A and B are shown apart, each in its own frame.
Chain A
Amino acid sequence: MSFTEFIQLNQREIMSSLFQHLSLVFWAVAIGMVIAVPVGIILSRHRKMAAPVLAFAGTIQTIPGLVMLGIALIFWGIGTKPALIVLSLYAILPILRNTYTGITDINPGYVEAARGIGMTSMQRLLKVELPIATPTIIGGIRISTVYIISWATLAGLIGAGGLGDLIWTGLSTYNTNYILAGAVPSAIMAILFNLLIGGLQRGITPRGLRRVNP
Chain B
Amino acid sequence: MIRFESVTKKYGKKTILNKLSFEINQGDFVVLIGPSGCGKTTTLKSINRLIEPDGGKIYVDGRDIMKENPVELRRKIGYVIQQIGLFPNMTVEQNIAVVPKLLKVPKEEWQQRVKDLLNLVAMPYEENAHMYPSELSGGQQQRIGVLRALAASPPIVLMDEPFGALDPLTRDSLQEEVKKLQKKLKKTIVFVTHDMDEALRMADVVIFMDQGEIVQMASPEEMLQNPASPLVKSFLGKHLNNGAVLLASDVMKSRVLKVHREMQTLQSVELMRNRDVNSLIVINDDETYAGTISIERIKSAGKAGTQIGGLLTMEAPVVQVSDPAQSAFELLMESPTGYVIVLHEDQTVAGLITKTSMAKAMGETLWGGDAV
A contacts, CB < 8 Å to B: 107, 109-110, 112-120, 123, 127-128, 131-132, 206-209, 212
Q: Roughly how many angstroms separate A21 CA and B183 CA in the complex, as a whole number? A: 68
Knowing A118-B74, A118-B99 touch, does A113 contact B87 (C-beta < 8 A)? yes
Q: Are B84 and A110 interface neighbours, CB within 8 A?
A: yes
Taken together as a complex, chains A and B put the C-alpha atoms of A212 and B135 apart, in Å, by 8
Q: Are B84 and A131 in contact (CB under 8 A)?
A: no
A112–B89 touching, CB < 8 Å: no
Whether B71 pairs with A119 at a CB distance below 8 angstroms is yes
Let me know if B89 and A209 touch, CB within 8 A: yes
How far is it, in angstroms, between the C-alpha of A123 and the C-alpha of B79 when the chains are bound?
17
* Proximity string of chain B (72-101) to chain A, C-beta cutoff 8 Å, 1 when within and 0 when not: 111100110101111111110000001100
Task: Known contacts A110-B84, A113-B79; decide if A120 and B71 are in contact (CB<8 Å).
Answer: yes
Provided the pairs A131-B89, A209-B88 are in contact, do residues A118 and B135 lie with their beta carbons within 8 angstroms?
no
CB–CB B132/A116 < 8 A: no
Q: Which residues of chain B are within 8 angstroms of A110 by Cβ–Cβ distance? A: 84-85, 87-88
Q: Is the CB of A118 within 8 A of B75?
A: yes
Q: Does A116 lie within 8 Å of B90, measured CB to CB? A: no
- Among candidates B50, B89, B91, residue contacting A128 with C-beta atoms closer than 8 Å: B89
What are the 10 tightest A-B residue pairs by CB atom distance, in nearest-first order?
A208-B132, A118-B74, A118-B75, A116-B79, A131-B89, A109-B84, A113-B85, A206-B89, A208-B88, A212-B134
Residues of A within 8 A of B158 (CB): 116
Q: With contacts defined as CB atoms under 8 Å apart, how many contacts are there between chain A and chain B in the complex? A: 74
Q: How far is the CB of A187 from chain B (nearest CB, A)?
A: 36
Residue pair B84, A107 in contact (C-beta under 8 Å): yes
CB distance A116 to B88 under 8 Å? no
Which residues on the B side are within 8 Å of A115 (C-beta)? 50, 74
- Taking CB atoms, residues of chain A closer than 8 Å to B83 are 109
Q: Which residues from chain A contact B98 at a C-beta distance below 8 Å?
A: 117, 127
Residues of B in contact (CB 8 Å), total: 29
Are A117 and B81 in touch, CB under 8 angstroms?
A: no
Within 8 A of A (CB), among B191-223: none
Instruction: Give the distance in Å from the alpha carbon of A114 to the alpha carbon of B135 in the complex.
Output: 21
Instruction: Please determine whether A117 and B99 come into contact, CB atoms closer than 8 angstroms.
Output: yes
CA distance A117 to B148 in the complex (A): 9
Given contacts A117-B148, A206-B132, A212-B134, contact A123 B102 (CB under 8 A): yes
A116/B71 contact (C-beta < 8 A), A107-B84, A110-B88, A212-B134 known: no
B39 at the interface (CB under 8 A from A): no
Query: Which B residues are in CB contact (< 8 Å) with A209?
Result: 88-89, 134
Main secondary structure of the interface of B (DSSP, over half): mixed
Sample of 28 A–B contacts (CB below 8 Å):
A107-B84, A109-B81, A109-B84, A110-B85, A113-B81, A113-B86, A114-B87, A115-B50, A115-B74, A116-B50, A116-B81, A116-B158, A117-B99, A117-B148, A118-B71, A118-B72, A118-B74, A118-B75, A128-B87, A128-B89, A132-B89, A206-B89, A207-B135, A208-B90, A208-B132, A208-B135, A209-B134, A212-B135
Find chain A residues with CB under 8 A from B88 CB. Answer: 110, 132, 206, 208-209
> Is B48 engaged at the interface, CB distance under 8 Å to the other chain?
yes
Cβ of A123: which chain B residues have Cβ within 8 Å of it?
102
Smallest Cβ-Cβ distance to A119: which chain B residue: B102
Give the residues in chain A near B78, CB-CB below 8 Å: 117
**In contact, B81 and A207 (Cβ under 8 angstroms):** no
Query: With a CB–CB cut-off of 8 A, which chain A residues contact B90?
Result: 127, 206, 208
B156 CB to closest chain A CB, in angstroms?
13
Bound-state Cα–Cα, A208 to B93, Å: 13
Residues 138-153 of chain B, each 1 if its beta carbon lies under 8 Å from chain A, else 0: 0000000000110000
Smallest Cβ-Cβ distance to B94: which chain A residue: A127
Q: How far is the CA of A107 from the CA of B81 in the complex (A)?
A: 13
CB neighbours (8 Å) of B50 from chain A are 112, 115-116
In the assembled complex, B133 has its CB within 8 A of some CB on chain A? yes
Which residue of the partner chain, among B72, B74, B84, B91, contacts A116 with CB atoms under 8 Å? B74
Known: A113-B87, A115-B74. A208 touches B81 (CB 8 A): no
| CA distance in complex: A107, B158 (Å) | 21
Fill in one digit per residue for B149-169: 1 if any A CB lies within 8 Å of its CB, else 0. Answer: 100000000100000000000
Look across to chain A and name the residue whose beta carbon is closest to the beta carbon of B75. Answer: A118
Q: For A127, what are the chain B residues with a Cβ–Cβ distance below 8 Å?
A: 87, 90, 98
B74 contacts across to A, CB distance below 8 A = 115-118
